[in-house]
Structure 1
Amino acid sequence: MEKRMIGDTTFHWLNGGVTFMDGGAMFGVVPKPLWSKKYDVNERNQIELRTDPIFFRWNGKNVLIESGIGKGKLTDKQKRNYGVEEESALESDLQALGVSPEEIDVILMTHMHFDHACGLTKREGEDYRPTFPNAVIHTSQVEWDEMRNPNIRSKNTYWKENWEAVEHQVVPFDGQKEILPGITMIHTGGHSDGHSIILLETGGETLIHMADLMPTHAHKNPLWVLAYDDYPMTSIGAKEKWISQAIEGGYWFLFYHDAVYRALKWDEAGKVLDSVERSR
């Protein structure tokens, strides 16, 4: 479990599980000879994508960004299709920090695809119940609407098992919203119609979590978008805006999926100025 104090806040990356997804899909139209120089790929053309939530304390609140892949929810077929080699150890990681699931106050969900939202619920017999029963869950209104009424494409990733048990906990927002002082969620669209990013300001530092607009450090080029993106041109526009602003402003980038970096800061020439690397 990596941790780093940035500004006045200590961020912890918890073990939310791992997927191995097709590299071609994750880099869209970018040729493999280009993207494979920047991110490792295995013999099955899959790349490692962590699903590791970020935990921190903020103004007396226990906060999570995303919720992991969950535990005991996926069928053998789903594990095979999504390359899930490890499920979530979220509760034991929290326990090691002296925090119970009941003590999580706020969950920031950039979007509700299964690899982000499975950890919100857990199986109890034939039913599902909230993993974090006292948390307020924030996501965009657009995302929440599609989660409950997916279309022919998105029904493969928006599952009722991940939202029905927590429906009473979800507080959706329109446009952008300051969730807590210094934490703002901004609806961008792109990867999904309701996708959002997160800005955090702490102790003179600004951090940005771009979620699946930039799932790994290798996706820094605004044109390198996912084949999974529902609205790729929207993704490109959002990446152009926010990556440029973040680098010019000296922001930290936070990652949920990256197998190499937990967080990093680039200069305008693309050099890594500081980073939190994942332990292997």
Structure 2
Amino acid sequence: MTGVRDLDTYEIGGLKFHWLDGGVTNMDGGAMFGVVPKPLWSRKYPVNELNQIELRTEPIFFQAEGKNILIESGIGSGKLSDKQKRNYGVSEESSIKESLKKLSLKPEDIDIILMTHMHFDHASGLTEVRDGIIVPVFENAVIYTSETEWNELKEPNIRSKNTYWKENWEPIQHQVKTFIEKVEIVNGVEMIHTGGHSDGHSIIRLTAGDEEIIHMGDLLPTHAHFNPLWVLAYDDYPMDSIFAKQKWMQADKWYIFYHDAIYRAVKFSADGKVKEALDRTKI
């Protein structure tokens, strides 16, 4: 496919990360920063005339212990209606296959997918429509998410049913492995259940050389959310989000992003300022 951009690739502690083209949404800035007044958050993150902020949905690919691993799956392609695209500000759908091709890989080469949670903007890329049937994209992958997340996904409540879609989980349920508190996927790759954004939300902690690398999922969707009190209106359990951020947000660790439109990874200083950053290439 022509027009697919070169992948952003950065090495941290000897571990090489590639950000794949998973799509772009533009979500309401007020919802993304909850009770924080716009004059405060808009100084830290760009906002458009519709009060929307750009949020990438770009899976992170890396290799560990001989395994091809993805963090999250993207917004998907060919599954959203025009109304859904409009409501979620989807300006680009996924080009995951084309991105993987740049790495000389195919979807069937992915061994493991780490899902912090299964909201539509993270899980829609797990399946696709093929010959009129919704089927798995990564047919050989083991997909990890927390047991709490998986249980709610199958029986969502009146609030969560708007983001847990059957077409994103029913075709892949035979691929899923769940855990309760934490699980070591391979050496140096750990998932930890935190709750907060969803009851089953998890974070991913990686150890590479002397570096600790953390993917906070939607507890830290962008670098502008460093403040523990800056949590999303979308969070089902905001106090759990705050407590988890207080526990896991620390200076001089690397934080990698799925959603951030400015940075791929950041180290913060103790006062929350960006101390060191790996930029997103804007093409």
Give me the TM-score of the superposition, normalised by structure 2: 0.96
Quick check: 2:25–2:90 contact (8 Å CA) kept in 1?
A: yes
Deviation per CA, 1:55-102: give whole Å up to 9, x if none. 011110000000000000100000000000100011100001111100
Alpha-carbon offset, residue 251 of structure 1: 1.2
Alpha-carbon offset, residue 9 of structure 1: 1.0
Specify the alignment match of 2:165 in structure 1.
Answer: 159
Q: Secondary structure at the match of 2:31?
A: helix
1:70 paired to 2:40: no
Runs of at least 5 residues in structure 1 that lack an aligned partner in the other structure = none
1:115 paired to 2:121: yes
Specify the alignment match of 1:137 in structure 2.
Answer: 143
- Partner Cα distance (1:60, 1:203) in 2: 17
- Partner Cα distance (1:272, 1:240) in 2: 17
- Partner Cα distance (1:23, 1:269) in 2: 23
Query: What is the 5 A alignment of 1:1-280?
Result: 1-243=7-249, 246-247=250-251, 250-280=252-282
- Partner Cα distance (1:78, 1:189) in 2: 26
Deviation per CA, 1:96-127: give whole Å up to 9, x if none. 11111000000000000000000000011331
Q: Secondary structure at the match of 1:201?
A: strand
Q: Secondary structure at the match of 2:198?
A: coil
- Partner Cα distance (2:141, 2:32) in 1: 31
Quick check: 2:112–2:141 contact (8 Å CA) kept in 1?
A: yes
Q: Between 71-80 and 260-269, report the one with greater CA deviation.
A: 260-269
- Partner Cα distance (2:66, 2:32) in 1: 37
Specify the alignment match of 2:4 in structure 1.
Answer: none
Q: Secondary structure at the match of 1:163?
A: helix
- Partner Cα distance (1:58, 1:205) in 2: 15
**Aligned partner of 2:246: which letter?**
E
Q: Secondary structure at the match of 1:4?
A: strand
Alpha-carbon offset, residue 37 of structure 1: 0.4
Deviation per CA, 1:143-171: give whole Å up to 9, x if none. 00111111111010000000011000000
Q: Structure 1: which 4+ aligned runs deviate by more than 3 Å?
A: none
- Partner Cα distance (1:79, 1:274) in 2: 34
- Partner Cα distance (1:176, 1:220) in 2: 23
**Aligned partner of 1:254: which letter?**
I
Q: Secondary structure at the match of 1:193?
A: coil
- Partner Cα distance (1:83, 1:270) in 2: 29
Give me the TM-score of the superposition, normalised by structure 1: 0.97
Runs of at least 5 residues in structure 2 that lack an aligned partner in the other structure = 1-6
- Partner Cα distance (2:154, 2:57) in 1: 22
Alpha-carbon offset, residue 179 of structure 1: 0.9
Deviation per CA, 1:209-248: give whole Å up to 9, x if none. 00100100000000000000000011011111111xx31x
The RMSD of aligned alpha carbons is 0.8
- Partner Cα distance (1:32, 1:135) in 2: 41
- Partner Cα distance (1:121, 1:188) in 2: 26
Alpha-carbon offset, residue 203 of structure 1: 1.4
